[in-house]
Amino acid sequence: MASAFYNPIGTTALITGASSGLGVGYAHELAQRGADLVLVARRQARLESLAVDLAEKYGTVSTVIPLDLTAADAVPELVRDLRERMITIGTLVNNAGFATFGTVLDSNEAREREQVALNVQALTALTHALLPDLVETASLHPHAAALINLASTAAFQPVPYMAVYGATKAYVLSYTEAVSYETRASGLKVTAICPGPVDTEFFEVAQTGSGKKGTPLTVDAVMRASFSALDRSVMPSVVLVGARNAILARFASIYPRRAVLNAVGRLNTPRGTR
């Protein structure tokens, strides 16, 4: 397939969850390609350190906005801040998200609400607020605008012991595919990135009782898959990272749903309770 190099030079990219893991990876890749950045996360010191690193390596101008996106007024506050600074966003990376591990019966309801607020509500509100900017940038600067939503291979089937996480990522996948279709004539590149486990702080935050399954992907592997897709002339609306993950996602779509549910449930069952 013919390539259309994704070139965000002269535009600004906003990354949520930019203080660690995949967020840092996207920040480096976008800065290297010439984008200025808006870095959003709760941990201000980490964001400021990243901004200095990006400036030294790439000459990137980064705007640091420390913000807890689970707060009800966080997205309106962020959008107001961008307007006051007269920053137009050309690429949006909705990377912020987290998981919890355990049964629904034993879960902390407040923490589960925070998970939905971040993984679903903040992503939806920020996409809705900034989509006009993204589409406008796509019209003015071909191959320079993108919407990247971080989904997961967990999006393709129910995930026992991570029920809310799997459900939120299924939403992200469905929502992103719909937005991709609706904006297909605009030139905006829209995709849901679906990695399996990645070697980040994810597992520590989730406090998974069963640990990492197999060998986790590296941040670099997710970046290569993401930007290889961005460079294509026709952007795929879903990017599955890793051949094994692509096969597993395919199986989830063709095998009986109960069989897939049982298999994932057995795989995810905490040690000592199987």
Q: Which residues are catalytic?
A: 165
Give the type of residue at 218: T
Tokens of 8: 């965000």
Closest CA to 227 of 271, 188, 202, 191: 191
The radius of gyration of the chain from alpha carbons, rounded to an integer in Å, stands at: 18
150-223-11 Cα angle (round to 5): 80
Rounded to whole angstroms, the Cα distance separating 1 from 63 reads 36
Task: Mention every residue, 6+ apart, whose C-beta is less than 8 A from residue 28.
Answer: 54, 57, 223
Question: Cα separation of 197 and 213, whole Å?
Answer: 7
Do residues 31 and 260 touch, judged by C-beta distance below 8 A?
no
Q: What is the DSSP letter of 130?
A: H
Q: What is the DSSP secondary structure assignment for residue 3, as one 8-state letter? A: B
Task: Tell me the DSSP string of 151-215.
Answer: --GGGGS--TTSHHHHHHHHHHHHHHHHHHHHTTTTT-EEEEEE-S-BSSTHHHHHT-SS---SS
Residue 127 · residue 135 · CB < 8 Å: no
Residue with tokens 């191959």: 143
Q: What is the largest CA-CA distance in the chain?
A: 57
Q: Between β-strands 12-16 and 91-94, what pairing exists: parallel, antiparallel or unpaired? A: parallel
